[in-house]
Structure 1
Amino acid sequence: MTNILEINQLSKSYGDKPILNAFTAQIAKPEMISLLGKSGQGKSTLLRILCRLEAQDQGGIQFHGRSYEEVDPKEWRKKICYVSQQSYMLPGSVEDNLRTVSQLHKTPFDMSFAKELMTSLDLDHMDWNKKSADLSGGEKQRVALVRSLLLRPEILLLDEVTASLDMQSKQAVEKLLQDWQEQEGATCVWITHDLEQAQRLSHRIWFIEGGSLLEDNDSHDFFENPRTESARNYLQLVPKEGRSSCPM
């Protein structure tokens, strides 16, 4: 059976500074994956390469057995979407931003689906004529997530998307993404520094250090019995009593 995604020996440097070092992993089934590691270890760079916003120096990526070299970048990004930590709003209104994906891919705009997603993120009372520049940071983050979900991506790459949200908004995003993963059969690869969140939501953990994948493990096993000293040291940042005991 062909894997959904295969990441083979990805390497990337900025000048003489290595960022990714032969990163290799596979996604065989839809699941929630938390990408963990200290800041500056290559996590965001990995996600940007996976959605083809940056180019790797070496290595390859296959999506359902097809190399990234065989697929038009626009079609690739329709199936593998990236939501950054700093939300980028296009000029114009909220509705202009939401309609962007259908305009880009020349598909009908699904108004009812957009409203459903906005409601799920507590944005049902938002004026769609409001200028995107006037949105708060949390509003921009949630609108950007809706904009990506309108493509119905098979893989969603999330870069600390709840880090700047209040608790209510954070919980709404978490619930939407859990429901999305289960109902759509999608995969989420989620960078987070919230270990309680990672343990509670994830099926699987990728732990990265120095640009290398040191651990690829079931979430429960990773938190209860990390295999490497680096992961054990990382987990000491949050004591066990501060983490959830009931991962999803």
Structure 2
Amino acid sequence: MESMLQFNQITRTLPGNPARPLFSGLSGEARLSDTISFTGPSGTGKSTLLRILALLESPDEGRLILNGRPAREWDARQWRMKLSYVSQQPFMLSGTVEDNLRAASALHRTPFDRELASRLMASLGMAETDWRKNAQRLSGGEKQRVSLVRTLLLRPEMLLLDEITASLDDTSTEAVERLLRSFHEAEGTGFIWITHDLEQAGRVAGRSWVLAEGRITEGEYACP
């Protein structure tokens, strides 16, 4: 049976204003092998929902179910090994590039695959990066790509991607899209990818979620 994520009647209110929901009663489901673009106007709560799906934030109401088991029955670390979140604002730990590449493996107690790490870095145009370099001295785009590689090294079943190419140039964006397509083809890794680039959404995804007016629909989002 395929791995399945479901969320039922998810409600989240605005911080400091419990009377006003950011969204209310959101429900949906996805196979973890699905490739889903997630679009909609700014401020509708896409990033918040993605963080809820990653168990990084809690809903005010509703429940999450993975493979038939409610989120409360899961160890959060095990959940995040299956559903791995990559932020729009990458966070680099203190230390070197290699320290950062090893971080997720150390946290989740999985072996560090240096060969795979090297291959992924090369695929994103970072073959010449000195792994001994202080990660804080990387450019924003380099940090974003290292963050993605760090997550892929866990071989998650699904990636939760929050506008991960928004700060990248066209060449790096194409490299990220190409890598995620190949990872999906080789390992079945799916994703839910927040993007405001509708052309990108059409290129990368097999399904489309649109969050607007407090509800999720499957379809196309027309830019206002």
C-alpha separation in 2, matches of 1:140 and 1:2: 33
- The alpha-carbon deviation at position 79 of structure 1 amounts to 1.0
C-alpha separation in 2, matches of 1:36 and 1:99: 32
Q: Structure 1 length as normaliser, TM-score?
A: 0.85
Residue 12 (structure 2) aligns with? 12
Residue 140 (structure 2) aligns with? 137
Q: Between Structure 1 and Structure 2, how many residues are aligned?
A: 221
Contact 1:31 1:181 in 2 (8 A): no
Pairing 1:186–2:193 present: no
Pairing 1:115–2:113 present: no
Contact 2:32 2:157 in 1 (8 A): no
C-alpha separation in 2, matches of 1:18 and 1:145: 31
Residue 98 (structure 2) aligns with? 95
Contact 1:19 1:210 in 2 (8 A): no
- The alpha-carbon deviation at position 236 of structure 1 amounts to 4.8
- The alpha-carbon deviation at position 29 of structure 1 amounts to 6.0
- The alpha-carbon deviation at position 114 of structure 1 amounts to 0.7
Q: Structure 2 length as normaliser, TM-score?
A: 0.94
CA offset digits 1:143-194 (Å, max 9, x no partner): 0000110110111000000011011100000000111122211211000000
Pairing 1:124–2:141 present: no
Higher RCO (C-alpha 8 Å, min separation 6): 2
Question: Which of these residues, 66, 86, 89, is aligned with residue 86 of structure 1?
Answer: 89
- The alpha-carbon deviation at position 28 of structure 1 amounts to 3.4
Question: Which of these residues, 25, 30, 50, is aligned with residue 28 of structure 2?
Answer: 25
- The alpha-carbon deviation at position 107 of structure 1 amounts to 2.1
C-alpha separation in 1, matches of 2:57 and 2:82: 16
C-alpha separation in 2, matches of 1:211 and 1:43: 10
C-alpha separation in 2, matches of 1:51 and 1:28: 15
CA offset digits 1:21-49 (Å, max 9, x no partner): 11100113622101110110000000100
Alpha carbons of 1:139 and 1:29: their partners in 2 closer, same or farther (altered >3 Å)? closer
Contact 1:4 1:29 in 2 (8 A): yes
Pairing 1:197–2:200 present: yes
C-alpha separation in 1, matches of 2:81 and 2:3: 18
Aligned residues: percent identity?
50
Contact 1:102 1:108 in 2 (8 A): yes
Contact 2:88 2:163 in 1 (8 A): yes
Pairing 1:166–2:169 present: yes
SS at match of 1:56: coil
C-alpha separation in 2, matches of 1:82 and 1:107: 17
User: Can you give the 5+ residue segments of structure 2 that lack an aligned partner in the other structure?
Assistant: none
Residue 242 (structure 1) aligns with? none
Pairing 1:51–2:51 present: no
C-alpha separation in 1, matches of 2:61 and 2:74: 18
C-alpha separation in 1, matches of 2:223 and 2:61: 33
Contact 2:85 2:160 in 1 (8 A): yes
Q: Which 4+ stretches in 1 moved above 3 angstroms?
A: none
C-alpha separation in 2, matches of 1:128 and 1:211: 44
Residue 243 (structure 1) aligns with? none
C-alpha separation in 1, matches of 2:34 and 2:208: 11
C-alpha separation in 2, matches of 1:64 and 1:194: 31
Alpha carbons of 1:32 and 1:113: their partners in 2 closer, same or farther (altered >3 Å)? same
Pairing 1:177–2:180 present: yes
